[in-house]
Amino acid sequence: MIDKYFSWPREPVAIIAIGDTGEALLLRAILESLGAAVLLHLPGTPVDVLKCLGQGETAPEYVILSGHGDETGFVLGQFVEEIDTSALVKGSLPPANLMNRIKLPGKVVLSTACLTGNEAFAQAFLSGGARAYIAPAEYPDGAAIPLFVHGFFYHLLEKQVSLEEAVKLASNFDGDELAIALFQGTGGKAPARS
């Protein structure tokens, strides 16, 4: 993205709105207030979501998956019969159906969806080349997630701290409520969890 090479560079960040767009629009405003150049994806079908997750090298370094999660996976909801929903189970996209479909080499992926901060999701993203995968392991209060995202990118982009430190500092206001998990790729081995 050309904004990265401006005289005053702007870090590109992609937001993929999975299901509900309200949170994605709020996150876009937060990131733009921090000087990021935001690319907002509004996929309308499960196949469109998979296209966003398989965009490869063209994706920005930071990718946010904004949406809801349940025990099955990312909640996408119900669709008319003409839409290909073969990747969904009970209206949700489970980690098993993401395996071998994600291509995000070297990217940092942050999910806001409940219950997506687990080993199965981490493995799906890390095996797709992601450098790191960050997500809530439990059901955080919906109002806490935008605060976490703001703090995370504030510390990462403005203060230039490490990924680990940005997650820690952004979680400080309510670490128990957020229960954010950080998984990092380790050269093909099992993911490291913070």
Cα–Cα distance measured from residue 164 to residue 162, given in angstroms and rounded to the nearest whole number:
5
Tokens at 182, concatenated: 């950080």
The contacts of residue 189 (CB under 8 Å, 6+ apart) are: none
Tokens at 133, concatenated: 């995968």
List, for residues 42-57, the tens digit of each pLDDT value. 999 999 999 999 999 9
Q: What angle do CA 98, 103, 105 make, to 5 degrees?
A: 135
Give the pLDDT of residue 97.
97
Classify residue 43 by burial, with Cβ atoms within 10 Å: 0-12, 13-18, 19+: middle
Q: Give the mean pLDDT of 65-80.
A: 94
Residue 170 reports pLDDT greater than 70: yes
Cα–Cα distance measured from residue 148 to residue 23, given in angstroms and rounded to the nearest whole number:
13
In degrees to the nearest 10, what's the CA dihedral of 164, 170, 172, 175? -80
Q: Give the mean pLDDT of 99-110.
A: 97
pLDDT class of 137 with cuts at 50, 70, 90: very high
pLDDT class of 160 with cuts at 50, 70, 90: very high
Give the pLDDT of residue 124.
98
Residue 193 reports pLDDT greater than 70: no
pLDDT class of 180 with cuts at 50, 70, 90: very high
List, for residues 143-153, the tens digit of each pLDDT value. 999 999 999 99
Give the pLDDT of residue 188.
39
Name the CA radius of gyration of the chain, rounded: 16
Q: Which residue has the higher pLDDT, 111 or 192?
A: 111
Q: Which of 11-15, 62-66, 185-189 has the lowest mean pLDDT?
A: 185-189
The contacts of residue 108 (CB under 8 Å, 6+ apart) are: 61, 62, 63, 130, 131, 132, 134, 163
Whole-angstrom CA distances from 46 to 13, 53, 70, 125, 129 are 21, 11, 16, 17, 21
Give the pLDDT of residue 192.
47
Q: Which residues pair with 66 in a beta bridge?
A: 17
Give the pLDDT of residue 186.
65
Q: Give the mean pLDDT of 77-102.
A: 94
Give the pLDDT of residue 144.
93
Residue found under tokens 């913070």: 194
